[in-house]
Structures are given as C-alpha cells and as structure tokens.
Structure 1
Amino acid sequence: MQLVEITDANREAVCALRVHPGQERFVTGVARSLEQAAAIPEAEPWFRAVYAGDEPVGFVMLSWNVPPGRPGILGPYYLWRLLVDGRFQGLGYGTAILDAVVALVRADGATELLTSHHPAEDGPGPFYRKYGFVPTGEVDDGEPVLRLDLTAPHLA
C-alpha cells in the first residue's frame, strides 16, 4: 500500500472509487472531496490516492498542520476523509491507511490526530474506536469528534 499524489494521469481512476452503496451517506466521494479541498484552502488540505500496486484502492484527506485560531477548522491535524473502495474493503486497507497517516503526522511533530464521523450505528465509529480514537465530547457539524493520542506507545 502506498500513498500517491493525485495528478491528471490518475485523477479519473481515483475519482471513480466508490464505497458500498449503503455507505455513501457516511463518506463523500473523491471528486467532491477535491472540490471541498479547493474551496477551503484555510483548512490546509493534504490528500493522496491509496494504491495497492498499480491499482487505486482508496483516498485519504487531512487538514495538515492548521495554525491555531482558524474558525470552523479542526486541527491542527484532522482526518477529513478516509475512503476505501467497496471492492477492497475488509482487506486491511483502512487500518494500513491510518498507520501511514499516523506515521506521517507524527513525523511532522503532531501529538494528536482528530477526526469525526457520521453517528449512525452502522457507520465508521467502531472502526475508529477499535484503532484507538476516543470521543472528545465535541460535536462538529452534527458529528462526534474523536481524538487519537499519537504519543501512545502502541501506535505504529
């Protein structure tokens, strides 16, 4: 698994990635995510395609090292989007993506990673909690905010 920049050469293939139909209410697609990144530069968006060999299998987007005091922007490091194509779910890619993201943001000096999720029972909350994220008690746009302590020794 590798994180790859999105370019004109791979944009169409990456934008074609889709979660299972029942999950579409939980995660915005790649094309819309890229539009959001362009529309909200103050969120310091950082995004990559996720590849297994030569095939795109997912997408990840973060707010990267956002300076304090930007209203409405969680951070400094916030996992904004994590998408694994439906064909590749259940194969460990979600965890591998989080492992790679944790290593990158930790190397950048981060001590925590935030995310939020749709609060439905069949949503991604259990996945994040199993990884080690814990609720902060905050809610952002109707979604509970979770925190991962990057100083914890058990993380990659």
Structure 2
Amino acid sequence: MRLEKVTPDNYEAALGLSVRPDQDDLVAPVVKSLAEAYVFPEHAWPRLIYDGDRLVGFLMAFFDIPWNDDPDDVRAGLWRLNIAADAQGHGYGRFAVEAVCAEIRARGGDRAYVTWEPRPGGPAEFYLKLGFRPTGELSGGQTVAVREL
C-alpha cells in the first residue's frame, strides 16, 4: 500500500471513488475534498491510497488549523477518509490513518484529531479501535476525537 499525490493523471479516477451508499451521509465526496484542498492549500494534504496499481481510497489530512480561532490551540488530523465500497474491510482505512499519524509526527506534532458523525453504522468503532478518544467537543454536530502520538 502507498499514498500518491493527486495529479492530472489520476484525478479523474479519484473523482470516481465512492463509498457504500449507506455511508454517503458520513463523508463528503472526493470532488468536494479536492475543492477544499484548492481553497485551503496551506492546510490540506490530499492523497490517494493505492494497493499496487489499484486505487482503493482517498484521504485528506489537515495541518496547522487553529481550533475555534484560538491561536494557541493549533491542530492536525484526518479531515476526510473515503475507502472505495468494494475495498472496505481490507486494512486500507487503518493504513490511511497510520500514514496521516506518521506525517503529523514527521512535522513535529504529537496529536492527531478526527471527527465523525455520531450515528449507528458510523465510523466511531473504527476510530476508537485505532486509539482515538472523544474530547467532549463537537464540530458541526460531529464528535471530535484525539489520538496521542
């Protein structure tokens, strides 16, 4: 497994990625993430997830974002994670989270943040198994969680 930058050669394949229909309300489509990455290039880190030559997912990390406009509370973490519907359950999500955590550590960070929709069938269990713990905060109605690195 590996991460690749989004390029002119692979962006159309990235736009074709879709999660399972029951997950559509849990994560924005890749096209929205790429638009946000374009608008916030100083914070966004979009990457494609490959297994060999097969595109299996998309992630976008965020770096150096002040939380609640507090300049002393600057955070980094996983902004988006889209694993293709037919590729779920094979460790690609775990790989993506670990890759983001490694990038945060490489940039000098010691915590990774993530948010999720708190509903049955949501990703809470996935993130909890990876060591994230809810902070008690909400962001846009989503649970905020942190993992010490």
Same fold (TM over 0.5): yes
Task: Identify the structure with the greater strand proportion.
Answer: 2
2:93 maps to which residue?
Answer: 94
Name the SS of the counterpart of 2:104 in structure 1: helix
Q: Does 1:130 align with 2:129?
A: yes
Shift of 1:127: 0.4
Change over 3 Å in CA distance of 1:140–1:81 after alignment to 2: same
Structure 1 gaps of 5+ residues are: 151-156
1:44-123 correspondence to structure 2 within 5 Å: 44-66=43-65, 68=66, 71=69, 75-123=74-122
Under a length normalisation based on structure 2, what TM-score does the superposition of the two structures give? 0.91
1:4 maps to which residue?
Answer: 4
Aligned residues: 148
Structure 2 gaps of 5+ residues are: none
Q: Distance in 2 between matches of 1:72 and 1:94?
A: 30
Is the 1:17–1:85 contact (alpha carbons within 8 Å) kept by the matching residues of 2? yes
Is the 1:75–1:114 contact (alpha carbons within 8 Å) kept by the matching residues of 2? no
Name the SS of the counterpart of 1:132 in structure 2: coil
1:15 maps to which residue?
Answer: 15
Offset from partner CA, 1:35-67 (integer Å, 9 cap, x none): 12223446x11110111111111011011233x
Change over 3 Å in CA distance of 1:16–1:69 after alignment to 2: closer
Shift of 1:29: 1.0
Offset from partner CA, 1:3-46 (integer Å, 9 cap, x none): 1000110000011010001100001111111112223446x111
